[in-house]
Structure 1
């Protein structure tokens, strides 16, 4: 079995919270878009997207906009991004359930979402202690003979965290 890779990406910098707009509808700001492009360009050195790649995003504006920027830079068709409501404001085990449903066909999966769920998920999978800042990407390789369906606590290896610095 080919080694499975997870790319856990926190959405880029978004508008501040306000009473005039629901949290779900907050958009990326200019600085966030620039940083997302920069980190996506850095990620291109670590991943090649192909037919065995799956991109899944929270449907919240700021997450899907980040996923679209990364997809554009990495050459993944934006219309193929799967929107998954169970990633929005989710507990890490809820996000893991989304990952556990991914078929063995795929070798690499990019997940776009929110904190604290994504940092907690990375730390759970890899026994690490990281805090993903906006637009950061954790690169995780699952242990040999572990597929997405059997990914759980301690089955991943944190290879890198791309921070754009």
Structure 2
């Protein structure tokens, strides 16, 4: 694959988590999260994106979200559970994405706010349709995802180089 070919990045916020007496990293999904994650997975399948790689935070709620969502996809991508995605800033997430192998065309990152929302806002230098308005109106609620396209190598991923092509949130 040449570096000039388009690449797709999906930033997927974990589903609604519960607040039991455990550390933040160990928080499981709430009932609503267990309902919304497969719904988000079905909507991800409707995008037609054939993911080559999933990068998922190691937190319990992100792993549970991905486990429920991925079953709705027609193809299960290679999944890497990446500790650096947990509590990462947008800059730290860009650094993780910069390490992606060049033969990967499409990637889904399952993570947390405020990093996921911040990364969507920072990467998007352009917008299609009303994706920006929908993201701005809704914020970036649990189970939401943003789809961005980028032409260039993963190493060239930096603020403003992407196009926000779609934003989806449950109930939208």
TM-score normalized with structure 2 length: 0.85
Deviation, structure 1 residue 117 = 0.5
* Residues 40, 143 of structure 2: 8 Å contact kept: yes
* Residues 90, 117 of structure 1: 8 Å contact kept: yes
* Residues 103, 149 of structure 1: 8 Å contact kept: no
Report the equivalent of 1:38.
Answer: 39
Structure 2: gaps spanning 5 or more residues: 126-131
* Residues 27, 65 of structure 1: 8 Å contact kept: yes
C-alpha distance in 1 between matches for 2:42 and 2:124: 24
Root-mean-square deviation (CA, aligned residues, Å) is 1.7
**Alignment partner of 1:22 is 2:23:** yes
Q: Which residue, out of 138, 142, 147, partners 1:134?
A: 142
Structure 1: gaps spanning 5 or more residues: none
* Residues 15, 37 of structure 2: 8 Å contact kept: yes
TM-score normalized with structure 1 length: 0.89
C-alpha distance in 1 between matches for 2:45 and 2:102: 23
* Residues 17, 29 of structure 2: 8 Å contact kept: yes
Deviation, structure 1 residue 147 = 2.1
In the alignment of these two chains, the number of paired residues is 158
Q: How does 1:13-162 map to 2 (within 5 A)?
A: 13-16=16-19, 18=20, 20-49=21-50, 53-77=52-76, 80-127=78-125, 130=136, 131-142=139-150, 144=151, 146-162=152-168
